[in-house]
Structure 1
Amino acid sequence: MLLKLILPEEDQILSAFKWTEENLGHVHVLVNDAAFVSEELLTEGNTEIWKRSFDVNVVAPCFTTREAVKIIRKNDIKGHIIHINSVAGHKVSPVPKMNVYAATKHAITALSETLRQELNALGSKIRVTSVSPGLVVSEMTVLSKDISEERKKLFEVRPILQAEDIADGVVYVLSTPEHVQVLELTIKPVGEPH
């Protein structure tokens, strides 16, 4: 079941988890896949846009992770938390104006490992995976109405993944045995230069 929320509204997130438990049963898997990016220079950026980037890309996944883990632990389920991250969460891209986005995705890399360690210390069998794709066709890239001409030209010459490629990666991670923890899965299109 897929629930669409306006992030990072905590009350909506809490309501969604309550509705899910009441109508569908316990949460076994959470896939955090929300992201926000804007094209601007760090030296000239808009504070409100920076806050929105951190709220959507970092704070909202913290809310959803917390709520999913509560439900999974309460019901003694061997669940799985999957964060759709980015290669920008491991290496700052030479693509211009990706500054705050890269910072938020580095935060997701750190939060994924922190969560794994916390759950391990609690004796939990919940698995944690960060899936880090390269460039993907999405509303943030080639499908964006607000994309600059500079960025459009970049997307025309670079290899690009489809959403299905990332979904296949998530299915792979979920198909591994319960004793296997795939902490990081990086997915890049063949020929990606960075």
Structure 2
Amino acid sequence: MERYAGRVALVTGANSGIGAATARALLEKGLKVVGLDKRIDMMKDIARELKDAPGALYPLQCDVSSEESILCALKWIKENLGGIDVLINSAGLCGDSSLTAGQTAEWKRILDVNVLGLSICTREAVQSMLDRGIDDGFIIHICSISGHIIPSDPNYSMYHASKHAVKTLLEGLRKDLVARNSKIRCGEISPGLVKTPLFNTLKKYSAEGSENMRMPMMEPEDIANAIIYMLSQPPHVQVYDIILRPTGDLFR
């Protein structure tokens, strides 16, 4: 990780869950972390808590479903920090929405963040690296075990579809970078169930005393540790996908 100390990492969805845990981990490794989220209150708490960490945290309010909002944030990064060296696409949404009765607005909300927002952030980060001649940058998508399996619950088919798209977009990105003769690396982390606020919005998991909430789950820090592992490999090694599942997981 020493090669990234003092350099700039952009983390989307950094106000809570996996994004917040990732921001913490990168700060402790000495990176300048720009955290994007619609809310930044918890990031401000992290900045105060880790004020003596070797890195620095820059919370930026941003709606990842809006290209205009993303471009505004990237402009700030360019003008104030020079550009992006590492991108962690952590922002993600899920929702209760079947394919036969779901609302178009809910489908669009999921796809705008999980697929289009991720793609816009990736495009802009790669261009930032290429424009500055950065050849050791890294793009990491937070995918999901849902990107590797067929949906078991029809209410979450659109979410599964978005994560299958993330997996496909990663391979497209890898081939694009190879065709450019770039040494910029990319990879994805595909976790199973993780204790994050994402579940608070889902009927299946949010009901008080829900049996589903007693299923084995990982902590956000487990995913952040996997990100650090991926980043810490030598330049000739590209860890492309890490699948993490909680011990005893029966999720299908």
Q: TM-score range by the shorter chain?
A: over 0.9
Q: 1: CA distance between counterparts of 2:226 and 2:212?
A: 22
**For residue 99 of structure 1, what is the amino acid of its counterpart?**
S
Aligned to 1:147: 202
Q: 2: CA distance between counterparts of 1:12 and 1:20?
A: 13
Counting only pairs closer than 5 Å after superposition, residues 1-194 of structure 1 correspond to structure 2 as 1=33, 2-4=35-37, 5-77=62-134, 78-141=136-199, 144=200, 146-148=201-203, 150-152=204-206, 153-193=210-250, 194=252
In terms of fraction of residues, the more strand-rich structure is 2
For residue 40 of structure 1, report the CA deviation from its aligned partner: 2.5
TM-score by length of 2: 0.72
Aligned to 2:47: none
Q: SS at 2:237's partner residue?
A: coil
Matched-pair contact (CA < 8 Å) for 2:191–2:223? yes
Identify which range, 179-188 or 64-73, moves more after superposition. 179-188
User: 1:112/1:154 Cα in 2 relative to 1: closer, same or farther (>3 Å)?
Assistant: farther
Q: After superposition, what is the alpha-carbon deviation per residue over 1:138-173, rounded to whole angstroms, capped at 9, x for unaligned? A: 1211xx1x332x434243231001110110010000
Matched-pair contact (CA < 8 Å) for 2:89–2:140? yes
Q: 2: CA distance between counterparts of 1:51 and 1:154?
A: 30
Identify which range, 169-178 or 84-93, moves more after superposition. 84-93
TM-score by length of 1: 0.93
For residue 7 of structure 1, report the CA deviation from its aligned partner: 2.1
Q: After superposition, what is the alpha-carbon deviation per residue over 1:32-83, rounded to whole angstroms, capped at 9, x for unaligned? A: 0111111122211111111111111100011000000001111111100000
The CA RMSD over aligned residues, in Å, is 1.3
Q: 2: CA distance between counterparts of 1:184 and 1:94?
A: 22
Runs of 4+ in 1 over 6 A off after TM superposition: none
Q: Which runs of 5+ in 2 are unaligned?
A: 1-32, 38-61
Query: Percent same amino acid at aligned positions?
Result: 40
For residue 17 of structure 1, report the CA deviation from its aligned partner: 1.1
